[in-house]
Amino acid sequence: MAIEWAIEEPVVAGIAAHAARGIPGVARLETGVGGLLRAWGRSKWQQAKGITPVATDGVAVRVDGESVRVRVGIATSGHAQAAVVARRVQREVRQAITRDTGLTVDEVSVAVLDIEPASTS
């Protein structure tokens, strides 16, 4: 008897969101218009299943078998270099998904959608 298993996209998105939020210089996860629609659909699906929605706004995930593609939208702090923060998000998200799921991460793309101004005080 074959045992099949699946790790659903909302689970992977939650792992990615948690990893990205933990990076110094990430002010918040940021969604574009497409992200808003995906988040709304995901939360309705989770509500219908009786699952407490995980805050994954700003993260889009595609699971295909045992491989994953992730897109993370972030806003960075004006006190950090956006490119450095984005590379770290990319690395940490990849490591967290692999560590927590065992899935192969084919791609993590990070879009810096906003940079919060640095305070002058």
Whether the pLDDT of residue 80 is over 70: the answer is yes
pLDDT above 90 (res 53): no
Mean pLDDT across 103-107: 96
pLDDT at residue number 92: 98
Average pLDDT for the chain: 86
Q: 33-49 vs 9-21: helix axis angle to the nearest 10?
A: 120
The whole-model pTM stands at 0.80
| 118: three-class secondary structure by DSSP | coil
Highest mean pLDDT among 15-19, 34-38, 53-57: 15-19
pLDDT score at 108: 98
What is the DSSP code string of 44-102? Answer: HHHHHHTPPPP--TTEEEEEETTEEEEEEEEEE-TTS-HHHHHHHHHHHHHHHHHHHH-
Domains of the chain: 9-115 (3.30.70.1350)
pLDDT at 24: 96
